[in-house]
Structure 1
């Protein structure tokens, strides 16, 4: 089988790698740079602490109108602002929302039309220009956005993406010290998000030996570090393992793709504004249980790695295993816990079925009936002693 792998042009990883930012900026001889971040990082001083020195060398504008699970309107405003101001570089600094928006600002601002014209499901335009350089610097532990060519947006009732090679970072910088201030809940959610990236990439029908190697290493790193990273956020060793794990998981899923968990998570984010990582977490056990029979060898490999890090040895029961992992990091484990009514399961299913790009990578087909059952099980909170079998 022939495989094609894609990566950012250049990545700097490891403790202190943020210093490479200033080398890159000087090499490009930039004059006017846009920083896309969120207001929280501005308020706690993280932007000034790590990016403040840029102001000594060039004109810097900080754009912080960044929404969690960003809407199409949020993206359109940023792209319009970028066009108007004439920047020669965009720097994304933050979680996945800030990084995704930075990609769109750098590329679509240099092309004709609106962001909506380039959406995967409904857009009719094709990107013609590369855009201006983009530097992507994550401050959370799990989205992998710094190494992908995808920007995810929330629409009415669902999510859609803009995806193109032009959205790949010119430079990605992954420095664990930037994640030390991430709160417990966000550490847990983004950590499970990264784990989901790795597991789904490993099980994807598009996986190959190279992506498998990336995914397995990511699973080992995240599985061994996530609980301590949540409980002891100042532990730099755990933060470093999570940063590397997230980075490798991003490379794995960018090349092999994610599937059913993400397809079902998207409607939770768009309809109920659940953070993406938590949407993945609450669905992960049930999707994994359903697809087990189609990829038993790989599932057993995942189970053997992860079962070392949970309280109970559950390598043979994937519902229990993934449920316990989510529970151990303190995240809600049912749709009820999020206040989602049972009456919403039909609309969630309707929107999940539309995610054909994601569903097509699943090792086992997920049709409408199965998707509804997964939502139903996640709503009821089927746990260790309640079974959880599928009717189909």
Structure 2
């Protein structure tokens, strides 16, 4: 069976990778740069640390109008700003929201129309121009946005994406040294985000041998390092392993896709403003429990990779059940909420959430078990009660 695989043109991954920024910018022969980042990264000095090598050599504008789960109007404003600013390079520095906006702004600044015209579910326009060159520099280990061609935006009651190969980074620089000061809660949430990407890519109906290999290694690295990075953010080895895991998980899900967890997570972020990583984390055990019958072999393998000390014992069915328990306990060990009740979500909200999630057909189509409205309602109900099946 043939598989189409797409990867970014150039990536630098590992401790000190940011040292390559100056030479890569120099090769582009640019003069006016816009950096899309988050205000707290500027305040904490992380942005200046990332940009140190180019600060004195180029005209750089820091654009910090970035919010988590960015709404459509934030993207529209950024695109217009880039169009008016006559920039010739876009650099994204930050988490997934900053990187998604940077990719989107770089491309749509050189295409006609509004951002809404290019939305996956409702847009009518096709991206025709590649746009400005773009360099993506993540400062968290989770989203994988630096290696995907998707920008996620919040809409009324749901989320939608702009997606096109032109949104792929020209250069991705993944340096774990930029993640050292990430607080424990964000380390936990973004780490589970990376794990969710890897697991959903692994069980996707679009998975293949290449994406499986990448996804399984990412899962193994998360199992080795996430709890260490959470408890000791200064552990360089754990931070490096998590950066690599996040990058690899991004490659895997970009090519194989994510599924039910993300479909159900989007409404949580949009309706209740849960951080994306936490939305994935609270749902991951319950979705895997519900669809376990369609991917038992792979979930048994996930359990082995997350628990290095565990050997293959018992049936595949039992090992897949153990995987669900492992995911639940991982959230507990990271002090992340394990039920929707913990977020103040009420039982009456489950229907609304189900109505929103069932619209995510692009994501649901990749699930190894078909999820209809009734199935989605049952998963949300289990997550509300905090009980697996």
Aligned to 2:142: 142
Aligned to 2:105: 105
Superposed displacement of residue 315, structure 1: 3.9
Aligned match for 2:356, one of 346, 351, 354: 351
**Secondary structure class of the residue paired with 1:152:** strand
Matched, 1:336 2:341: yes
Distance 1:316-1:204 versus aligned 2 partners, 3 A rule: closer
Superposed displacement of residue 85, structure 1: 0.3
Aligned to 1:82: 82
Q: Counterparts in 2 of 1:134-213, with a 5 A limit?
A: 134-213=134-213
Measure, in 2, the Cα distance between the counterparts of 1:369 and 1:246: 32
Q: Deviations over 1:328-356 (max 9, x none)?
A: 11101110111111111111000000000
Measure, in 2, the Cα distance between the counterparts of 1:125 and 1:316: 43
Distance 1:330-1:86 versus aligned 2 partners, 3 A rule: same
**Secondary structure class of the residue paired with 2:230:** helix
**Secondary structure class of the residue paired with 2:81:** helix
**Secondary structure class of the residue paired with 1:142:** coil
Aligned residues of 2:297 and 2:320 also touching (Cα < 8 A): no
Aligned match for 1:381, one of 380, 383, 386: 386
Measure, in 2, the Cα distance between the counterparts of 1:77 and 1:269: 21
Matched, 1:280 2:280: yes
Measure, in 2, the Cα distance between the counterparts of 1:52 and 1:303: 42
Measure, in 2, the Cα distance between the counterparts of 1:182 and 1:223: 19
Aligned residues of 1:12 and 1:172 also touching (Cα < 8 A): yes
Measure, in 2, the Cα distance between the counterparts of 1:251 and 1:48: 27
**Secondary structure class of the residue paired with 2:160:** strand
Matched, 1:130 2:107: no
Q: Counterparts in 2 of 1:59-98, with a 5 A limit?
A: 59-98=59-98
Superposed displacement of residue 316, structure 1: 4.4
Measure, in 1, the Cα distance between the counterparts of 2:165 and 2:184: 34
**Secondary structure class of the residue paired with 2:191:** helix
Q: Deviations over 1:104-160 (max 9, x none)?
A: 110001100011000001000000100010000000010000000000001111100
Aligned residues: 382
Moved more, 286-295 or 84-93: 286-295
**Secondary structure class of the residue paired with 1:54:** coil
Superposed displacement of residue 276, structure 1: 0.3
Q: Deviations over 1:279-305 (max 9, x none)?
A: 000000011011111122111111122
Aligned to 1:10: 10
Structure 1 unaligned spans of 5+? 383-387
Aligned residues of 1:79 and 1:109 also touching (Cα < 8 A): yes
Measure, in 2, the Cα distance between the counterparts of 1:302 and 1:90: 37
Q: Counterparts in 2 of 1:253-332, with a 5 A limit?
A: 253-308=253-308, 315-317=319-321, 318-332=323-337
Aligned residues of 1:335 and 1:378 also touching (Cα < 8 A): yes
Superposed displacement of residue 46, structure 1: 1.1
Q: If the length of structure 1 is used for normalisation, what is the TM-score?
A: 0.96
Aligned to 1:363: 368
Measure, in 2, the Cα distance between the counterparts of 1:8 and 1:319: 33
Superposed displacement of residue 236, structure 1: 0.4
**Secondary structure class of the residue paired with 1:53:** coil
**Secondary structure class of the residue paired with 1:98:** helix
Superposed displacement of residue 52, structure 1: 3.5
Aligned residues of 1:315 and 1:321 also touching (Cα < 8 A): no
Q: Deviations over 1:185-214 (max 9, x none)?
A: 000000000000000000000000000000
Aligned residues of 1:150 and 1:163 also touching (Cα < 8 A): yes
Aligned residues of 2:296 and 2:320 also touching (Cα < 8 A): no
Measure, in 2, the Cα distance between the counterparts of 1:240 and 1:53: 22
Q: If the length of structure 2 is used for normalisation, what is the TM-score?
A: 0.96
**Secondary structure class of the residue paired with 2:91:** strand
**Secondary structure class of the residue paired with 1:238:** helix
Measure, in 2, the Cα distance between the counterparts of 1:233 and 1:111: 41
